[in-house]
Amino acid sequence: MSDPALDRHTAVRQRPGTLCREIDGEAVLLDTEAGIYFGLNEVGTRAWALIGPGARLGAVCDGLLADYDVDEARGWQDLVQLVGDLARHGLVEIIEIERTGGAELPGDGPAGSPGSNRTAIP
């Protein structure tokens, strides 16, 4: 399966039912149906929080850039990689919304480089 094209207007949300446990600034996401957990570092955990019930990737990236000292291009690249990984594992959903005006998401408005690792639970 190929990744969807992600840009600053792409809206994503946390998939309902995904369990999240934060420990010392890092998080573990658990998909109980698939038996997969995802570990997020501090920046990935912040990205997860910014995505929340729905946000445009541009707002998420802006929030990360405001919080962490990272080059904009590198921050964007890392965010796209993280969201792609999360989407492939069913932990976030791409939201189809109109790209011109109109609908606002909870994450719209001002929102480093996310990191993750994943392991299948035996």
Is 6 within a domain? no
Is 3 within a domain? no
Domain count, the chain: 1
Is 5 within a domain? no
Over the chain (122 residues), what is each successive 10-residue block's mean pLDDT? 76 93 94 88 97 96 96 96 94 76 48 39 34
Is 49 within a domain? yes
Question: What is the per-residue pLDDT for 109?
Answer: 43
Domain that holds residue 95: 11-120
The secondary structure of residue 100, as a DSSP letter, is S
Sorted by sequence, the CB contacts under 8 Å of residue 107 that are 6+ apart come out as: 50, 51, 52, 53, 54, 55, 56, 59, 60
Is 80 within a domain? yes
Q: Treating both helix axes as pointing N-terminal to C-terminal, what angle do 42-51 and 72-88 enclose, rounded to 10 degrees?
A: 70
* CATH (domain of 113): 3.90.930
Question: What is the per-residue pLDDT for 118?
Answer: 39
Kindly report the pTM of this predicted structure.
0.78
Is 1 within a domain? no
